[in-house]
Amino acid sequence: MSKPNIELQKFRTKRGKRLLSHLITTSLQYKLWIAFLLILILLGLIGYYRQLRYGLVVTAMRDYTSWGIYISNFVFFVAISLVGSLFSSILKLNKNLWARPLTRISEIIAVAAIICAAVIIIVDMGRPDRIFYVITHLRIQSPIIWDVIIISTYLVISILLLYISLLPDIALCRDRLTQIPNWKKALYRITAINWHNHPKQIAMLQKVNKILAISVLPVAFAIHTITSWLFATTWRPGWDSTNLGPYFVSGAFMAGAAVIIIAMYFIRKHLKLSKYITLSHFDRMGKLLVLLSLVYLYFNINEYLGPAFKMVGVEGEHITELFVGKYAPMYWFVQLGGLVLPIILLFFKPFRKPLPILIIAIFVVLGAWLKRFLIVIPSLQHPYLPIQGVDESYLHYNPTWEEWAITFSSFAWLLLIITVLIKLFPVIPIKKYKQGSETVFKQNIF
């Protein structure tokens, strides 16, 4: 097919043109962005090739720090994947209509994040060919097995959540878009599964939507609680805490909200959607972020005050290292720059405007990633049996270039999946059906 001509595509309204043009045209900016992501991915693949060839010795993980930035990255991705349930379930069930334009973005981020979480775990394995031993040699008593099960379940649910909200919009694209390549027409035709706005179809979809919105909630809470149990079911200082479950879940919602703000800013800017992602949305997201951050601050205080008050044994050494030791600069940046300062700033309306809140959200996300680093690595460097008779380098953990390349590559994969999904499907929900016993429906944007 020749290059699509946006002029030949008929749109009935300016709104339709605004929300669907990006599915037809491809800007130079988009191509450069994809190229940049592919370069990062390529560097990551080189690092992974070296890891497969020479083994995990190419990383900085050794006897003591046996979990490194791959695992902290995994926890981070699981955290931000919870945002899908926040918007598609919690806000939707509470009839927060203002959040509706953001539901598609949140669902896309959730799917992309959980896929990357699953992949980064396989990357952490020295022998990825043994991944199926997890199934064939399954021990139901293992928290790792619970995590595998819940992540697989949440991945399927997130995909269903995204697909079900997308279905009427895919049918719209199938029926209306003419200036698209044949493969895209085929994609819309197949994925639209014969959707044609029949009242019965609408009623069934709404029923399924409600079931999913309710079902995703316990699964979303379970996924990050179980991920926290990977740590909390051990005796290590910093991990052996009953507070870890709610601490992780609250941190996940906060980090996810910040990621949404970042996505909102760039999508609004590059797709020119300021009429749909308005200043009011940034303002409300800022308030939501403050609320979630306050909850997370509460759990942070709970997490550290107890052990810091007692300063017992290895736990005391761990706290000392975080508060005033080797990891103190990172720790205080995370707590102050990534949590306390954003809360204070977002109380003021000028900071809830797009650019300021973007910067604040970036700090929150950076703080969230570094917090996962602080959760995973320092505890491993304070084992119960004293470290003795090993090389001095075992006492420190400085990730190698292979680890950083793979980590950045995982972020590139995340952004690539999000970008491709936004390019293929409308990012703002277009069709909305009013629920009623007579199956009367109207077409509307919001």
Partner 1 sequence: MAVTFIFGANTISYGQDDLQDAIVTLSFIDNNEAKIIQAKATDQDGSPIEDLELYFYVQRTFSLLPIGDFFNTTDENGIVEIPFPEDLPGAVGGHVKIVVKILESDIYNDLTLETIKNWGIPTPVDQFEEKRSLWAAAANAPITLVISVSGMILVIWFIIGYIIFILYKIGKIKSDVHSQFNEENYFKDVIESF
Taking CB under 8 A as the rule, does residue 187 contact partner 1?
A: no
Q: Which of 156, 279, 294, 387 binds partner 1 (CB under 8 A)?
A: 156
Is 8 among the residues that bind partner 1 (CB under 8 A)?
no
Cα separation of 123 and 116, whole Å? 10
Contact string 324-363 vs partner 1 (x = CB under 8 A)? ----------------------------------------
- In sequence order, what are the residues at sequence separation of 6 or more whose Cβ sits closer than 8 angstroms to the Cβ of residue 36? none
At 431, list the tokens. 């069709």
Per CB under 8 A, the segment of 56-64, 195-203, 235-243, 414-422 that binds partner 1 is 195-203
CA 315 to centroid of chain Cα atoms: 31
Q: Work out whether the CA dihedral 27, 28, 30, 35 comes out positive or negative.
A: positive
Integer Cα distance of 330 and 46 in angstroms = 29
87, 195, 253, 411: which one contacts partner 1 (CB under 8 A)?
Answer: 195
Nearer to partner 1, 39 or 204 (CB): 204
CA-closest candidate to residue 23, choices 236, 152, 204, 187? 187
At closest approach, how far in Å is the CB of 430 from partner 1? 6
Question: Is residue 137 near partner 1 by the rule CB under 8 A?
Answer: yes
User: Is 160 one of the binding residues for partner 1 (CB under 8 A)?
Assistant: yes
Segment contacting partner 1 by CB under 8 A, of 45-53, 124-132, 205-213, 269-277: 205-213
φ, ψ for residue 101, nearest 5 deg: -65, -15
**201 touches partner 1 by CB under 8 A:** yes
Query: What's phi and psi for 399, nearest 5 deg?
Result: -55, 145
- What does the angle CA 439 – CA 442 – CA 446 come to, to the nearest 5 degrees? 125
25 binds partner 1 (CB under 8 A): no
Question: If binding is defined by CB under 8 A, does position 445 make contact with partner 1?
Answer: yes
Q: Which is nearer to partner 1, 17 or 287 (CB)?
A: 17
Pick the closer one to partner 1 by CB: 164 or 334: 164
Rounded to whole angstroms, what are the CA distances from 198 to 163, 188, 202, 205, 441?
Answer: 18, 18, 6, 11, 10
Residue 440 is a binding residue for partner 1 (CB under 8 A): yes
Element (H, E) at 316: helix 313-323
Residue 23 to residue 271: CA distance in whole angstroms: 10
| Residue ranges that bind partner 1, judged by CB under 8 A | 11-13, 15-16, 20, 137-141, 146, 149, 153, 156-157, 160, 163-164, 167, 172, 176, 193-201, 204-205, 207-208, 211-212, 215, 219, 430, 440-445
